Amino acid sequence: MSQVHVLSHPLVQHKLTLMRKKDASTSTFRHLLNELSMLMAYEITRDVALQEVEIETPMETMTGHVIDGKKLVLVSILRAGNGILEGMLSVIPGARVGHIGLYRDPKTLKPVEYYFKMPKEMDERDVIVVDPMLATGNSAIAAIERVKALNPKSIKLACLVSCPEGIAAMQAAHPDVDIYTAAIDRQLNDHGYILPGLGDAGDRIFGTQ
């Protein structure tokens, strides 16, 4: 079974609480999401492979360690996933980016795909799928199914807020995909929204409410 990593760091919890407030402005929400995405990237890349490199300091030659950022792919589930990209790319600037366009059919809550574009040679890369909300899990499950067909070396899921229903569905569908989340909220409502949650993440990022 996959692991669920709850990012309990005080900075993460503090910023998430500010984001949840209904009167947080679009720019505040976006700014906090950007900062939180950097902190999430820090945690999620904790076990990324390092390569040895010889470098010259002003004093002498030494062997240092670097990440091959090009081997990492951030896969954004449109459109809310894009809110996480900027922050993650600012700390992993070499990462490649893939996009999956899925919308939730409002009646069935099932995902419908309208866009799919990934970097080449996915079988040589480690993937981090990003989506702020793990609600029913339907979109993330479908996105990961599509990514898996390209045989990447590994897949992790980064979501800001999750709920027990979404985690259970994800673990049942993809027991090999670890989940990184800042919070596991109480429950889903009848419309597939997380309670207490933060509302519609896409609307709050892009100011389309």
Residues near ligand URA (CB under 6 A) are 80, 133, 135, 192-194, 197, 200-202
Q: Closest separation between CB of residue 149 and ligand URA, Å?
A: 25
CB nearer ligand URA, residue 72 or residue 134:
134
Distance from C-alpha of 26 to C-alpha of 152, rounded to nearest angstrom: 35
Q: Closest separation between CB of residue 72 and ligand URA, Å?
A: 25
Distance from C-alpha of 24 to C-alpha of 195, rounded to nearest angstrom: 17
CB nearer ligand URA, residue 40 or residue 201:
201
CB nearer ligand URA, residue 88 or residue 133:
133
Distance from C-alpha of 5 to C-alpha of 61, rounded to nearest angstrom: 38
95 touches 125 (CB < 8 A): no
Q: Which residues contact 207 (CB under 8 A, 6 or more apart)?
A: 26
Q: Closest separation between CB of residue 163 and ligand URA, Å?
A: 8
CB nearer ligand URA, residue 25 or residue 187:
187
42 touches 88 (CB < 8 A): no
Q: Closest separation between CB of residue 111 and ligand URA, Å?
A: 12
CB nearer ligand URA, residue 35 or residue 200:
200
Q: Closest separation between CB of residue 158 and ligand URA, Å?
A: 15
CB half-sphere exposure, 54, CA atoms < 13 A:
2
Distance from C-alpha of 60 to C-alpha of 63, rounded to nearest angstrom: 10
181 touches 162 (CB < 8 A): yes
